[in-house]
């Protein structure tokens, strides 16, 4: 293999290293309603987190959290959970109050992205119906400002790795081996 | 750059080879006595643990603790070619011992798999792709010892930020569920296959067609909704597996909310059973579904099956939380609540689940109630009290006997009478209401405030009991009897709300006199409704 070619490809790949991806890695709370699928009980709260603006280091983005209880909500707490490096500048990072069934509450903040990293922002709503009855829902989104193929700056959160430690086959069954810790 | 990387790769490979040749057990998790033992039988003993993540009603606490990896497959693998030289399973303490003789290239390692060949436990955990998890030891070189001791831990995340512990926690919970069911039946539940990996967003659900439980993997270990450490959620899904294999489950499936009091009665039973089963295995009344990560980004959904409070929200046979709560009250040891004088009856619950429900046309809470008595478990007053607490009405004619047209129940205009369609006999209930109507006045006769899966059919009869007019579902003339069946797969079953299946008719009599209203269960009732149910009857003008 021509090392020069490999080297050139790697170089060009690294040139495209700072990329901005709003990958919208949302955790789906809904399942296809099929008779053979029994999903876990859902919280009667709808939460939608969205982002406006073009994310890049030093820039300000607007985060919007929309919350709608599907039942009467005598007390509902709403909050943005911001990772390190994402600094709220203005707006309402949390809110608590009463909402009627189906009533929408929208809170917004502006925040600055201060470092190159992958950010996972969360919006959470907890509905306290009565003692012993609490329903929580969360939405999250990913803002990826980290270098690809280069040094990752400021990662402070554990992320799922796409490449396992060792992948093997055992009786035609794939197997991933992780080194156990003492 | 590439050249440097290539050089580094060569260095890495060379280093690995050197380590392999030296048989260096490069960590503190193995020990042994030095000798030359190629071809002779050697022994390895060890323990395996996983890191569990603690939580409470506020979500994850940030604390972790170690628990044994129980009944997992243990394999002794030859490094050079992957040959499995021996296998066993861990015991209930996570310990194992294995003997081996390696006549091939020296160097072996221990591998713990996220499945088991233990004949008393049928579980496996893998990625959604089907790839199994394995935790492996450092290399053990036979020339260095006659025996080895291995201590392995599957951490929540390892030094390379790979999530492992969750897989073994899921396995541990499924083992507990399997043991619980086996203790009640003497039979090992069929194989269940859990599918999870960090980042999996395919939802948490049981697929009865494949016996798989899919489990949410969140958006990173500290973000999103991930269920690999949620005991209640995992065992809830295992409860569905148990229902499929030991009982009968007619739930239509689909998204459902704990707070919904107007669920399909079959779904309410299925989900209520699953929640109850999970908490029974855990012997804990509080269902907790965490979201987020460690504090401060932690939270949870919480349903305490013991707590009532004012205006307690989980009611009716058409609410999964109410079903779970009633089953819990029958199961738990506590009999100190005024309505809960029954307890410690898991054997009886299982008897109905295993023997009575399997013969039901369409399994729901009503079948559990009926099964309790047909199986001879008695305690009718106690059972009625715990169900009434959840506003489940297994009470015939609560406003007085009105099952004949003898006019024992007389209605006055604008007054509402509460009734049920429950009967303890095998025949269906018929309710008669007598009312005096005046010529020249228009009247509205209706059933209202339906609950507990009622679907009424209302007829107005003259004094000779001839039918004058009738109504099923108000202005909705749809025949729901085949909804969501193969005959009408596109027809959605109506909600068990207070109004959807209520009856209403207007009538202007041509002569003043006594008339008789007759209420029965609709012959076109959907399977989503109950056979019984509660309602009010009222006559108004107009």
Return the beta strands (E) in B82-126 as ranges.
Answer: 84-89, 95-101, 108-113, 123-126
- First-to-last C-alpha distance (Å) of chain A: 41
CB B77 within 8 A of CB B150: no
Q: Which residues pair with B470 in a beta bridge?
A: B459
**Strand, helix or coil at B16?**
helix
- What residue ranges do the domains of chain B occupy? 30-246, 416-540
Cis bond before residue B296 (omega within 30° of 0)? yes
**Helix, strand, coil shares, percent, chain A, to 5:** 5, 50, 40
Which among A27, A47, A69 is the top mutation candidate for probing chain B, defined by the most B β-carbons within 10 Å of its own β-carbon? A27
Residue B7 per-residue DSSP state: H
User: In chain A, whose CA is at the least distance from the CA of B7?
Assistant: A3
Best CATH choice for the domain B30-246 from the list 1.10.1740.10, 1.10.10.10, 2.60.40.10, 2.30.40.10: 2.60.40.10
- Domain hosting residue A50, numbered range: 18-27+41-153
DSSP-assigned states of every residue in B169-224: HHHHHHHHHHHHHHHHHSSPPPPEEEE--TT--S-SEEETTTTEEE--B-SSTTSS
**Is A23 a member of any domain?**
yes
**Is A113 a member of any domain?**
yes
Restricting to A residues 11-50, those with a Cβ less than 8 Å away from any Cβ of B are: 11, 14, 25-44
- From A154's Cα to the closest Cα of chain B, the distance in A is 15
Question: Do B254 and A137 make contact, defined as CB atoms within 8 angstroms?
Answer: no
**Is A119 a member of any domain?**
yes
Q: Which residues of B touch A157 (CB under 8 A)?
A: 220-223
Kindly provide the ipTM of the predicted complex, given to two decimals. Answer: 0.81
- From A128's Cα to the closest Cα of chain B, the distance in A is 9
Q: Which residues of B touch A46 (CB under 8 A)?
A: none
Tens-digit pLDDT string for chain B (542 aa): 333 444 443 333 333 322 222 333 333 345 554 445 556 788 999 999 999 999 999 999 999 999 999 999 999 999 999 999 999 999 999 999 999 888 888 899 999 999 998 989 999 999 999 999 999 999 998 888 889 999 999 999 887 778 899 999 999 999 999 999 999 999 999 999 999 999 888 899 999 999 999 999 988 888 889 999 999 999 999 999 999 999 999 999 888 998 899 999 999 999 999 999 999 999 999 999 999 999 988 999 999 998 776 566 899 999 999 999 999 999 998 767 778 888 889 999 999 999 999 999 999 999 999 999 999 999 999 999 999 999 999 999 888 778 787 877 788 999 999 999 999 887 889 999 999 999 999 999 999 999 999 999 999 999 889 999 999 999 999 999 999 888 888 899 999 999 999 999 999 999 999 999 999 999 999 999 999 999 999 999 97
Q: What's the CATH number where A132 sits?
A: 2.70.50.60
Question: Do B218 and A132 make contact, defined as CB atoms within 8 angstroms?
Answer: no
Number of domains into which chain A is organized: 1
**Is A182 a member of any domain?**
no
Fold for the domain defined by B416-540: Jelly Rolls (2.60.120)
Q: What is the pTM of this model?
A: 0.86
Distance between CA atoms of B244 and B38, rounded to whole angstroms? 51
Return the number of CB contacts < 8 Å for A and B.
265
- C-alpha distances in Å from residue A59, one per residue of A20, A87, A89, A114, A146: 12, 11, 11, 8, 15
- From B278's Cα to the closest Cα of chain A, the distance in A is 12
């Amino acid at each position: 293999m021509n090392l020069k070619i490999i080297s050139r490809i790697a170089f060009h790949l690294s040139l495209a290293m700072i990329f901005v991806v709003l990958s919208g890695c949302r955790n789906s709370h809904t399942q296809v309603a099929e008779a053979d699928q029994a999903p876990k009980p859902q919280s009667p709260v709808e939460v939608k987190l969205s982002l406006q603006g073009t994310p890049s280091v030093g820039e300000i983005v607007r985060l919007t959290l929309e919350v709608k209880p599907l039942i009467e909500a005598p007390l509902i707490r709403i909050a943005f959970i911001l990772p390190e490096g994402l600094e709220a500048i203005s707006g309402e990072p949390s809110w608590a109050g009463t909402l009627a069934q189906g009533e929408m509450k929208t809170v917004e903040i502006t925040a600055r992205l201060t470092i190159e990293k992958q950010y996972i922002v969360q919006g959470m709503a907890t509905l306290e119906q009565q003692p012993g009855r609490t329903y929580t829902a969360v939405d999250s989104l990913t803002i990826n400002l980290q270098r690809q193929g280069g040094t990752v700056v400021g990662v402070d959160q554990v992320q799922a790795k796409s490449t396992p430690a060792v992948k093997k086959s055992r009786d035609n069954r794939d197997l991933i081996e992780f080194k156990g810790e003492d | 750059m590439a050249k440097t990387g290539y050089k580094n790769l060569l260095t890495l490979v060379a280093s690995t080879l050197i380590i392999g040749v030296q048989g260096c057990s490069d960590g503190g998790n193995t020990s042994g006595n030095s000798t030359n033992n190629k071809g002779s039988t050697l022994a390895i003993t060890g323990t395996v643990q996983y890191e569990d993540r603690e939580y409470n009603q506020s979500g994850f606490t940030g604390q972790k603790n170690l628990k044994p990896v129980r009944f997992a497959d243990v394999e002794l693998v030859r490094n050079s070619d992957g040959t499995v030289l021996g296998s066993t399973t861990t015991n209930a303490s996570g310990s194992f011992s294995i003997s081996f003789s390696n006549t091939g290239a020296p160097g072996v390692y221990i591998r713990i798999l996220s499945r088991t060949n233990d004949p008393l436990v049928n579980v496996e955990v893998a990625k959604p792709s089907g790839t199994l998890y394995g935790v492996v030891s450092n290399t053990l070189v036979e020339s260095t010892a006659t025996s080895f001791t291995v201590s392995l831990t599957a951490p929540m995340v390892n030094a390379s930020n790979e999530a492992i512990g969750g897989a073994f926690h899921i396995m541990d919970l499924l083992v507990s569920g399997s043991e619980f069911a086996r203790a009640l039946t003497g039979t090992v539940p069929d194989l269940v296959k859990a599918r999870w990996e960090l980042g999996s967003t395919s939802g948490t659900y049981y697929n009865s067609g494949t016996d798989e439980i899919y489990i949410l993997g969140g958006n990173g270990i500290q973000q999103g909704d991930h269920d690999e450490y949620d005991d209640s959620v995992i065992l809830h899904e295992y409860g569905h597996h148990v229902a499929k294999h030991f009982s009968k489950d007619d739930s239509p499936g689909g998204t459902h909310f704990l707070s919904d009091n107007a669920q399909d009665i079959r779904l309410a039973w299925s989900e209520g059973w699953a929640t109850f089963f999970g908490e029974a295995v855990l012997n804990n009344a509080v269902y907790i579904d965490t979201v987020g990560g460690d504090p401060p980004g932690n939270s949870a959904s919480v349903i305490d099956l013991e707590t009532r409070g004012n205006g307690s929200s989980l009611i009716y046979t058409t609410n999964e939380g109410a079903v779970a709560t009633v089953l819990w009250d029958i199961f738990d040891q506590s009999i100190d609540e005024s309505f809960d004088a029954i307890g410690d009856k898991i054997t009886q619950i299982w008897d109905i689940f295993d023997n009575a429900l399997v013969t039901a046309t369409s399994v729901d809470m009503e079948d559990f109630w009926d099964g309790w008595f047909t199986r001879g478990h008695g305690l009718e007053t106690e059972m009625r009290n715990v169900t009434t607490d959840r506003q489940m009405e297994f009470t015939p004619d609560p406003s007085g006997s009105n099952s004949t047209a003898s006019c024992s129940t007389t209605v006055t205009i604008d007054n509402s009478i509460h009734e049920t369609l429950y009967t303890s006999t095998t025949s269906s209930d018929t309710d008669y209401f007598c009312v005096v109507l005046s010529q020249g006045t228009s009247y509205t006769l209706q059933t209202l405030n339906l609950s507990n899966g009622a679907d009424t059919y209302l007829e107005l009869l003259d004094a000779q009991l001839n039918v004058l007019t009738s109504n099923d579902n108000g202005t909705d003339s749809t025949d729901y009897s085949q909804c969501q069946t193969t005959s009408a797969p596109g027809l959605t079953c109506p909600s068990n709300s207070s109004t959807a299946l209520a009856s209403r008719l207007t009538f202007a009599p041509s002569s003043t006199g006594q008339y008789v209203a007759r209420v029965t269960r609709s012959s076109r009732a959907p399977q989503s409704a109950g056979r019984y149910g509660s309602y009010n009857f009222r006559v108004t003008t107009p």
